[in-house]
Chain A
Amino acid sequence: MIRSGRVSIFVFFVLFAYLGYMAMSRFKKSQDLPIRRLAGLDAIDEAVGRITEMGRPAAFVFGNGTLEAQWFAAFDILRYCSRETAKYNAEMIVCNPLAEVQPVVEEVVRGAYIAEGKPQDYNPDNVRYLSDTGLRAAVLGIFGREKVAANFMFGNYYHESVIFAEAGNAVGAIQISGTANTHQIPFFVASCDYTLLGEEIFAAGTYLSRDPAQVGSLVAQEYAKYFAVVIMIIGTIMSTMGSKALDQILGR
């Protein structure tokens, strides 16, 4: 019944879903939410304070990659940033390279302004579709003309990471970034003030919202990681001893 080669993945999938459900049920009742401090997200408040003092806008730049889970993580952070900028009457320019999410991005930002009770302050011209090929030139132009004081870079980044980070530095912006793309993490770490590495951007929404259901899925993710580590250790020992049993089990 189960397709060949996917039995072990299915078992892992079911266990993961069950763990998530158990953790969500537990944290619905509890107020104790065990998420460690993420410096990059705490720095968003600092950045918004800076743009308010300096009277210059912030920029929120999505990565140029395809639509996948990192985009949804970036929407969480965009919503938070939008609420903060709305709260302090600051301005934020959102740069979007992907046409299919343009309505979502507009809705997230507009919703944030409505939630802060300032729907009249929402400026649709600040949510810009820039296309994937035009993103680099457009963002550099925005940074240069608007002299942004804060630069938030989250999502599926490729080589444009170093371009935007250096351009942000050239105008003196505080820079907070995050991506799960391993090939761009070193550039962000070296060039930005704060960086969220890998899975931290997926935890960002949970961290900012403190929603118990989301915390539950984060806990399930942590347990899955422990499980992966245990499997790796067992697999390493077995492979060293010349046994392929684990390979065969996981390959079913």
Chain B
Amino acid sequence: MSKSFRKEFPMWIGLVSGVIVIVDYFFNISILSTLSKEIVQWRNIVAAFALALGVGNLTRIHSHAISQKKEYWFFSILLLVTMYGYLALGLITTSKSAPYRFFWDNMFQPLSGTWYSMTVFYMTSACWRAFRIRTPQAAVMLGAAVLAMLGQVGIGQIMWSQLPAIKNWLQGPFTTAGMRGITIGASLGMISMSFRVILGLERSHLGGVGE
């Protein structure tokens, strides 16, 4: 497959499917609606199949680590055994079976919840290390953060009965207005980026030479 075909073909797919979906959004044309729905469904199918690519990448990297006996190579064995074992369990017994649910409820869920909970320890570290008043803007940001954190919970109400009202006032005009501004700017940036991708002006995702 030539290099130019590898770059041009995805661009054409992007252009045609992007134009169909956009035109369908604005105009009620039945053939375009049908095509648009199909494209959306195909996107979902491709995303599901992409998981196989991820499995392939993990298998390659960790097989390499095992064969080279790199540091912590035994964890690579654990990863591959767990990944393929659970995959086989799901395929053979389905995701509604008792063994599948057992591992899900007693291993995956607690581990996943634990990782999310780790955020609080990193927040503690950030509170101690990162939230320093180095500039006047940082002082304003920290003052607002302190008021919002205390106003959100009951202890703040006990410290000062007006804190919840101050928190709501900060969150109302200030936070909402500020975030609206950033959201509008970011949304326009997304529209611009999407235009460039659909029209083929943005080619970073196509990789290859010819930068």
Direct contact of A and B (CB under 8 A): yes
List CB contacts (< 8 Å) of A146-189 with chain B: 159-160, 162-163, 165-167, 169-170, 180, 182, 185-187, 189
List CB contacts (< 8 Å) of A11-63 with chain B: 13, 16-17, 20, 24
Summed over the interface, the residue pairs from A and B with CB atoms below 8 Å come to a total of 186
Given contact pairs A72-B197, A162-B126, A110 touches B207 in the complex (Cβ within 8 A): yes
Contacting residue for B204 out of A106, A108, A220, A221, CB 8 A: A108
- A-contact bits for B14-32, CB 8 A (1 contact / 0 none): 0000000000011110000
Q: Does B107 contact A (CB under 8 A)?
A: no
List CB contacts (< 8 Å) of A111-161 with chain B: 111-112, 114-115, 124-125, 127-129, 131, 133, 136-137, 145, 159-160
Per the bound structure, the CA–CA distance linking A125 and B130 in Å amounts to 33
- The answer on a CB contact under 8 Å between A102 and B57 is yes
Contacting residue for B201 out of A103, A112, A217, CB 8 A: A217
- The answer on a CB contact under 8 Å between B115 and A137 is yes
Contacting residue for B126 out of A16, A136, A166, CB 8 A: A166
Given contact pairs A10-B26, A72-B193, A182-B183, A111 touches B208 in the complex (Cβ within 8 A): yes
Q: Does A233 contact B (CB under 8 A)?
A: no
Per the bound structure, the CA–CA distance linking A1 and B116 in Å amounts to 48
- The answer on a CB contact under 8 Å between A128 and B57 is yes
CB distance from A87 to the nearest CB of B (A): 12
Per the CB 8 Å criterion, the residue count for chain A at the interface is 83
- The answer on a CB contact under 8 Å between A202 and B190 is yes
Can you name the residue of chain B whose Cβ is closest to the Cβ of A6?
Answer: B26
- A-contact bits for B166-210, CB 8 A (1 contact / 0 none): 000000000000010011111011111111110001101111110
Chain B residues with CB under 8 A of A213: 196, 201
Q: Does B136 contact A (CB under 8 A)?
A: no
- The answer on a CB contact under 8 Å between A99 and B126 is no
- The answer on a CB contact under 8 Å between A199 and B195 is no
- Chain B residues with a Cβ under 8 A of chain A: 25-28, 46-47, 50-55, 57-58, 60-61, 64, 71-72, 112, 115-116, 118-119, 122-123, 125-126, 129-131, 141, 145, 179, 182-186, 188-197, 201-202, 204-209, 211
